[in-house]
Amino acid sequence: MSATVHPSSVIAEGVELGEGVVIGPFCVVEGPSRIGTGTVLKSHAVVGPHTEIGRDCVLYPHSAVGLDPQDLKFKGAATRLVVGDRNVFRENTTVHRGTEHGGGVTKLGDDNFLMAGAHVAHDCIVGDKNILANAATLAGHVEVGSGCNIGAFSAVHQFCRVGDHAFMGGFTVATQDVLPYMKTVGARETKSYGVNSIGLQRKGFSADAIEALKKANRILFHAGLLREQALERCEAELGATPEVAYLIRFIRDAKRGIHRG
């Protein structure tokens, strides 16, 4: 089954359309770019140049992906956006290409859901199965793991990280790294409020893993220990649990600090 393109849409030279691609009315696809098998562009969607979109993605009206980064140092370089499979971009979402000084590429993995008005800036690296709720915003150079829920109207400062399966409440402002597996909320004084037990249960995490994370949270933030003392104790007592081992690595690798409890 070949691609279907509405006659009102503009497809530039150098665009590769996979089998079963559907381009709705009044869309613009700049080249060079590639759109994977089964992907659908609804009306007025825009795809910029040097953009690769995987299979079975959906771009809703007025979404714009792969356009120039909002960076004053950008001078028109052929930087890239790479998008995986089964991603959904709802109305008015924007995802920008990378910058030369920031690695040259913005990446999204598979099965991400970007709600209306969400924004992913230049040079961000986003994993799989994340939800960015309405108007959630990632500044440049942000790293987001997998399985995260970033609440409506939340913002993540440039160069910050959001760990795997983190839950950010609506209107949260993250100016430091957001801990994996935890609930982080706050606009003026952003804090971690412990393990997102219910969310992890729904995702199929074992009771043992959740209990180990709870114990780690108590040691790290409520035992009155210095940072390295707490990390060493967690490693000794709970480091055999993969989720706790990842939490420890995440904290040790933090360059901007963490939002702690």
Q: Is 140 one of the annotated active-site residues of the chain?
A: yes
Q: Is 24 one of the annotated active-site residues of the chain?
A: no
Strand 182-185 to 161-162 pairing? unpaired
Distance CA 131, CA 154 (A): 12
**Domains in the chain, start-ordered, CATH in brackets?**
4-159 (2.160.10.10), 200-252 (1.20.1180.10)
Average pLDDT of span 152-158 = 98
> Which among 122, 141, 165, 259 is annotated as catalytic?
122
Q: Is 169 one of the annotated active-site residues of the chain?
A: no
> Which among 24, 48, 54, 140 is annotated as catalytic?
140
pLDDT tens-place string over residues 51-107: 999 999 999 999 999 999 999 999 999 999 999 999 999 999 999 999 999 999 999
Distance CA 224, CA 247 (A): 19
The two most distant CA atoms of the chain are separated, in Å, by 67
The pLDDT score that the predictor gives to residue 261 is: 84
Positive or negative, the CA dihedral 259, 116, 83, 139 is negative
Rounded to 5 degrees, φ, ψ at 88 are -120, 125
The pLDDT score that the predictor gives to residue 1 is: 67
pLDDT at 155 over 80: yes
8 Å CB contact between 65 and 84: no
